[in-house]
Structure 1
Amino acid sequence: MDPPALCVLQTLLVLTLLPPVAPAPCPRPCSCPQPTELHCTFRSLPTIPAAVPRHVERMNLFNSINKITDKSLAGLRKLELLMVHGNDIHDLPDGAFRDLTSLQMLKLSYNKLKEINRHTLQGLWSLARLHLDHNRLEFIHPDSFQGLTSLRLLQLEGNQLQQLHPATFTTFTLMGHFHVSTLKHLYLSDNGLTSLPSRLVATMPQLENLYLHGNPWTCDCNMRWFHDW
């Protein structure tokens, strides 16, 4: 046998004899019904557990979490579903989701968030469903959803929004001028909205469902466009 072939054979033999790599342990006090799932519900946790395995794809954190840092979710590039609803989160730091490039669904319902700023959602390029309902949102930056071109469903009902910028739901901009949203389902019910800018809906060519009940609408000339729409 020639030397190169012998070298390859020896390498394969060594790899065969090596013990299998053990999966990362499930962080206490959570449970992991499958290697790619992490459940930490009803554990009275004030923060996201440390050392979450990098291969986790689904994570449920219904708890008492009051703080998310810019490192809490670092490295979780395979995460596809994140449920952080029913906690006590007041704000989200810039970069908190920067590594979650595979995330498709984010549920932040029933927290105490007051605003979504320009960089809050940075990194969520695969996100299709975003649940921000029943928080205390008063402000959403017009560039908050820029780059989220996979976003199809946005839930914002049960907040304290009183006005919206015409470009609020824009997910990408053509030639730096034409604002376009990829949203199909938008929930704005039970806020404090009295009117909507006409250009808001014009940016959403794919919109199928728009929920607006429970707002104190002012029916004047500023809303005539809505009747025509």
Structure 2
Amino acid sequence: MCHLNFQEEIYIFHLKDTSPGMSHVAWPLISPVVEQIFDFPGLSPSTQNTMAVNSYRAVTQRPHICLQNSFHQILLAWGIKMTFGVPLLPFLFLLFSAPLAKGCPVLCSCWDRVVDCSGKHLFSVPLGLPLDIHNLTLAHNRLTSIPSGYLSCHMELRFLDLRNNSLSSLPDGLFLNLKKLVLLDLSHNNLTQVTAAMMQPAHSLVRINLSHNYHLTRIHSSTLRGMMQLQDLDLRFSGFSSLSYEVLEGLPSLISLQLSGNPWVCGCAMEPLLKWLRNSIKGCIIGSQEAECAAPPEVKGVPLMSLTEESFKACQFSLTLDDYLFIAFVGFVVSIASVATNFLLGITANCCHRWSKASEEEEI
């Protein structure tokens, strides 16, 4: 593919800036198509411009259609169909044999289906990723968000490295089409929680690194559900004071769980998790031996895994918040019933007194 000349580049940027609804998601999909249009032989500039606009409309109207290596060819054919009003099928046979447009984003390095954009001080995700990449590294940048649908068409992606950025959350469904993703590194970010909508359906993941997210205090119980192949979960140096065992109970392949560096509160609420850990992954490599209790004061600094059933013996006789709420509710109901009973007794006594007095007056 030849390089675009100056006038063609000006037009592409004009198309990107002036077309209604242009998004960061649509542009990396349509830019290779526009380049192929300008390389298409025998087309006048006005026809090329019309085809580019129509191809762009095709991708914005169908943002979730990805047919692997045929995607750009289909969009190009669709632009031809909308421009000339001719059937789509003949152009598909012609264009399927054309090589998929492959390029490397600006500032990134690319080789053997690997795209490395690490340490480039990026404030936004790079555009124009090759569709067949296996490894994408965006580490050590200044990313604060990932556009929804950014990875929708990169179905061959195996490794995604997003560590050391400023991400506070991920868009729902980011991994929707990533059936082959095995490694996800989100360490050293600003995540506050990890929800099921953010992570599903990344069921092929083998390793997840969520360490060094100091504001991360919660993982929803259904977040990791269905990840039957997950072997390594790293939660070190985050903000966890507790963790529900329900987060882990659907992970039959789990052999490494990193828990150190968190402010664990080793109260009665911790007992179910420790009991599950002992019963469920006994004999496996557990990277949680260095985890220590941060509270209450009497067990501060005590290794988490050294706590036994004897450590929680007092919990059998202690009251939980639910217990206190139930007692308060019962007390409130009893007090209301007591007031109502006294009121009824007072009315009854008053009626009896009046009736007795009336009877005495009649006798007189």
Q: Do Structure 1 and Structure 2 share a fold, with TM-score over 0.5?
A: yes
Amino acid at match of 2:221: P
Residue 170 (structure 2) aligns with: 92
* Pairwise CA RMSD: 2.6
Residue of structure 2 aligned with 1:159, choices 232, 235, 238: 238
Equivalent residue, structure 1, for 2:346: none
- Structure 1 runs of 4+ aligned residues shifted over 3 Å read 202-207, 217-220
Q: What are the superposed Cα offsets for residues 183-228 of structure 1, whole Å, 9 maximum, x if unpaired?
A: 10000000011233244313446742231435325549xx42398x
Task: State the alpha-carbon separation in 2 of the partners of residues 117 and 125 from structure 1.
Answer: 14
Q: Which moved more, 1:82-91 or 1:189-198?
A: 189-198
| Equivalent of residue 200 in structure 1, options 268, 276, 279 | 276
2:229 is the counterpart of 1:145:
no
Q: 1:208 to 1:75 in 2, by over 3 A?
A: same
- Shift in CA distance, 99/205, structure 1 to aligned 2, threshold 3 Å: farther
Matched, 1:103 2:174: no
Provide the C-alpha distance between the structure 2 equivalents of 1:80 and 1:206, rounded to a whole number of angstroms: 29
| 2:286 equivalent to 1:215 | no
Figure out how many residues of one structure are paired with residues of the other and give that number.
201
Residue number in structure 1 paired with 2:190: 112
> How far apart in 1 are the matches of 2:138 and 2:132?
17
Bigger Cα Rg = 2
What TM-score does the superposition give when structure 2 sets the normalisation length?
0.51
> Where in structure 1 are there 5+ consecutive unaligned residues?
1-14, 172-179
- Write the deviation string for residues 67-89 of structure 1: whole angstroms up to 9, x where unpaired: 01321221211111111111110
Q: Is the 8 A contact 1:109 1:134 kept in 2?
A: yes
Q: Report which of the two has the higher share of helix.
A: 2
- Quick check: 1:190–1:212 contact (8 Å CA) kept in 2? no
What amino acid is aligned across from residue 110 of structure 2 in structure 1?
C
- Does the 8 Å CA contact 1:182/1:206 hold for their aligned counterparts? no
CA distance in 2: counterparts of 1:31 and 1:96, whole angstroms: 23
Report SS of the residue matched to 2:265. coil
Return the structure number with greater relative CO, CA threshold 8 A, min gap 6.
1
Following the alignment from structure 1 to structure 2, what is the Cα–Cα distance between the partners of residues 128 and 224?
A: 30
Q: Output one character per residue of 1:96-122: Cα deviation in whole Å (capped at 9) or x when no partner.
A: 111211011111110010101122211
Alignment deviations for residues 139-197 of structure 1 (CA, whole Å, 9 cap, x no partner): 110111101111000111010001111211133xxxxxxxx542100000000112332
**2:109 matched residue in structure 1:** 31
Q: Which runs of 5+ in 2 are unaligned?
A: 1-92, 312-364
TM-superposed deviation, 1:128: 0.5
2-structure distance, mates of 1:19, 1:208: 50
**Correspondences of 1:23-62 after superposition (within 5 Å):** 23-34=101-112, 36-62=113-139
After superposition, the Cα gap between the structure-2 partners of 1:43 and 1:167, relative to the gap in structure 1 and judged at 3 Å, is same
- Match in the other structure for 2:338: none
Q: 1:46 to 1:226 in 2, by over 3 A?
A: farther
CA distance in 2, matches of 1:163, 1:22: 49
Q: Equivalent residue of 1:85, what SS?
A: coil
Residue 255 of structure 2 aligns to which amino acid in structure 1? K
Measure the CA separation in 2 of the matches of 1:203 and 1:119: 26
Aligned to 2:8: none
Looking at structure 1, the residues matched to 171 and 207 of structure 2 have their Cα atoms a distance apart, in angstroms, of: 20
